[in-house]
Amino acid sequence: MMDKSSRWLLVFAAMSGAVTVALGAFAAHGLKSQLPPYLLGVFETGVQYQAWHSLAIFGCAILARILPSKGVLYAALFFVAGIILFSGSLYALALTGIKWFGPITPMGGVCFIIGWVALAVAAWRSA
């Protein structure tokens, strides 16, 4: 039986993956003629990072069952924050053109980096 943290991470990862596919299709079919190439690229970058980190969250949820560690949970939570801040700010920037969303993006990138470092530390400590 899964603990609550692993279950919620799996649910989030699965739903984020579904949203990623929908947003990718929306970009390819709905936004391609509506946005200039630069902003379409910004949106697509958000989709790519969300896809990769949805998979990372999924991996953390599975790993948390094998390697119970707060570090794995922290990594997943930083990946969630990264998706919200990084991808979310890129989506908002592309769709609204409001420039102040731009400075939020690096905070999401830092969350992604912290998540990967937390995962590495958890793996190192598991040995």
Q: What's the CA gap between 56 and 74, in Å, rounded?
A: 12
What long-range pairs does 65-72 form, CB within 8 A, spacing at least 24?
65/2, 65/6, 67/122, 67/123, 67/126, 69/122, 69/125, 69/126, 70/122, 71/118, 71/119, 71/121, 71/122, 71/125, 72/118, 72/119, 72/122
Mean pLDDT of 55-65: 94
Does the pLDDT of residue 27 top 70, yes or no?
yes
pTM assigned to the model: 0.93
Q: CA of 101: how far to CAs of 23, 28, 67, 118, in Å?
A: 18, 22, 37, 27
Predicted pLDDT at 105: 97
Nearest to 112 by CA among 85, 92, 91, 94: 85
How large a percentage of the chain has pLDDT more than 90?
86
Predicted pLDDT of residue 2: 56
The pLDDT value recorded for residue 4 is 81
Q: Which segment of 3-12, 90-99, 101-110 scores lowest on mean pLDDT?
A: 3-12
1 pLDDT higher than 70: no
When computed from its CA atoms, the radius of gyration of the chain, rounded to whole angstroms, is 16
Going by C-alpha positions, the residue among 35, 84, 31 that lies closest to residue 57 is 84
With bands split at pLDDT 50, 70 and 90, how would you rate the model's confidence at 5? Answer: confident
Residue 118 has pLDDT above 70, yes or no: yes
